[in-house]
Amino acid sequence: MTTLMNRGFLSIVIVVALLACVPFLTASNSVLNFLVTGLLLTLAGQGWNVLGGYGGQYSFGHAAFFGTGAYATAILQVRYGFNAWPAFAIGIAAGAAVGAIIGAMTFRSGLRGSYFALVTLAFAEVLRIVASVAPFTGAGTGTLIKLNVGAQAMQFQSRAAFYWMILALVAIALVVTRLIEQSRFGAWLVAVRENQDAARALGVDVTRVKLGAMTVSAALAAAAGCFYAQYFLFIDSGIAYGTWISVEALLAPIIGGIGTVFGPLLGAMMIKVLGEAAKHLIGDAPGLDLVLYGMVLILIVAFAPRGIAGIVAQVQGWLTPKKGKPHG
């Protein structure tokens, strides 16, 4: 048991420690910026992964939680004079609450599959439209957080500080995912993904398990939104509640390996690398990165349904001599 625990968490410690060293190796703002946006996407993707990867409930509207986190953080500071730190925490809670509410409504009506994807998409759209017209979100012009550099305002002079902050958030997300994986809740969640009726027969409260997963999932996506607002200091309805984040949040785990702890991290970095590569090869053209992402999504579903993690496992399988190696 202890060795199993250690093995599970050791990999997280190693990966996070290695990533934490990057600012000591380079002071390049563009490298750090690249990694910050990659980790931001990892966080949102990890959120999607908890519900979609482990729970099998594919949301097409994680923008609803990302955007709620972003707007809550921004509005609390701009309109109500909150300090950035509590605003950040409330933003996460607000996103989680939106997740819990949407989850309670949809899961209680027994919506799943296509219907669940549709409803989450519709909720995100409703929020986007509301945000684009409501005065307290700044409507069409968006919300700008006042520049106020200093740790007390969570606005850091150096990119490295932002980088370590998002890395810490990602580390928490990795640990949370690992804890879920090794818990009863996780076993039930996976059971719900594989077969709801069988899970019910074994005493699993399907609705509650899904609701729990959705709340955690939304909290992680909201944390990404909070960070986005704090990092870029500007959001509008198209950014916060836009389709781009719903798509990229699901793309990261699917590319990296759905239902695995490191899948979203792998996938998010892959997406960012692809985006950069496209920029360098073809130039910075609007929409082109998403064209590429869409194609990658189709190709992954078609040829590598378990993502990069699946490919790695397969290659490992070829390299290691055949032995009955237990895993579980």
Residues found near another protein in the complex (CB under 8 A): 1, 4, 56, 58, 60, 105-106, 109-111, 113-115, 117-119, 121-123, 125-126, 129-130, 132-133, 182-184, 187-188, 190-191, 193-195, 197-206, 243, 247, 250, 254, 285-291, 293-295, 297-298, 301-302, 305, 324, 326-328
Least distance CB 308 / another protein (angstroms): 16
The smaller minimum CB distance to another protein, of residues 134 and 151, is found at 134
Work out the burial of residue 25: count CB atoms within 10 Å of its CB; fewer than 13 is exposed, 13-18 middle, 19 or more buried.
exposed
Closest to another protein by CB, 91 vs 257, is: 257
Shortest distance in whole angstroms from residue 190 CB to another protein: 7
Q: Minimum CB separation from another protein for residue 202, in Å?
A: 5
CB of 165 to another protein, least distance (A): 30
CA distances from 115 to 97, 121, 134, 247 (A): 21, 10, 28, 17
- What stretches of 26-151 show up as alpha helix (H) in DSSP? 29-48, 63-80, 84-108, 114-133
- Residue 160 CB, nearest approach to another protein (Å): 33
The 3-class secondary structure across 284-310, one letter per residue, is: CCCCHHHHHHHHHHHHHHHHCCCHHHH
Residue 28: strand, helix, or coil? coil
Residue with tokens 């759905």: 258
**Residue among 32 and 50 whose Cβ is closer to another protein:** 50
The span from the CA of 291 to the CA of 130, in Å, is 28
Nearer to another protein, 27 or 299 (CB): 299
For residue 11, the one-letter residue type is S
CA gap 214, 104 in Å, rounded: 9
Cβ at position 15, least distance to another protein in Å? 22
Nearer to another protein, 20 or 247 (CB): 247
Radius of gyration of the CA atoms of the chain, in A:
20
234-235 and 143-144 beta bridge pairing: antiparallel
> In this complex, which beta carbon is closest to another protein, that of residue 70 or of residue 190?
190
- Phi and psi torsions of 150, nearest 5°: 150, 145
Residue 73 Cβ, how far from another protein at the closest point, in Å?
Answer: 24
What are the angstrom distances between the C-alpha of 213 and each of 100, 143, 240, 327?
9, 30, 22, 24
Nearer to another protein, 81 or 203 (CB): 203
Backbone angles phi, psi at 314, to 5 degrees: -65, -45
Q: Which amino acid is at 233?
A: L
Q: Which is nearer to another protein, 81 or 328 (CB)?
A: 328
Q: How far is the CB of 316 from another protein (least distance, A)?
A: 16
